[in-house]
Amino acid sequence: MGLTKADLFTPEQNELACLAKAFAHPARVAIIEHLLKSNRCINGDLVNELGLAQATISQHLKELKNIGLIQGNIEGVSMSYCINTKKWNSVQQLFNTMFDRITNCGIDDCC
């Protein structure tokens, strides 16, 4: 059916999945990396940098903004996007909480 049955899972599981989606496309990873590098950048940079159409990049930016990972400011005619550091840090923490939940059984290949 292609419809994720969100009601079967906990809010935390849905939240983590939603955040992971931000990184689940190379274009968005590239956008994020560009924002990390420049700390401040305008949309136009991205259209030149990546080989995607302006509409496509605008769409990816919108998704990242909806999730809250980035924020945008109008700067005259152009847009200034940057990472939302507060959200960024909380996402890192959330991922690490999961990553750290591993308990090695001792044997390298336990099964």
Residue 5 sits in the site that holds a second copy (CB under 8 A): yes
Could you write out the DSSP letters of every residue in 4-65? --GGGS-HHHHHHHHHHHHTSSHHHHHHHHHHHHHSSEEHHHHHHHSSS-HHHHHHHHHHHH
Residue 19 sits in the site that holds DNA (CB under 7 A): no
Residue 111 contact among DNA, a second copy, none, beta carbon within 5 to 8 Å by kind: a second copy
If the CB atoms of residues 12 and 44 are measured against DNA, the closer one turns out to be 44
Chosen residue from 59, 66, 89, 97 binding a second copy by CB under 8 A = 89
Alpha carbon distance, N-terminus to C-terminus of the chain: 33
Q: Which residues contribute to the site for DNA (CB under 7 A)?
A: 1-5, 21, 24-25, 27, 42-44, 47, 52-56, 58-63, 72, 74, 76-79
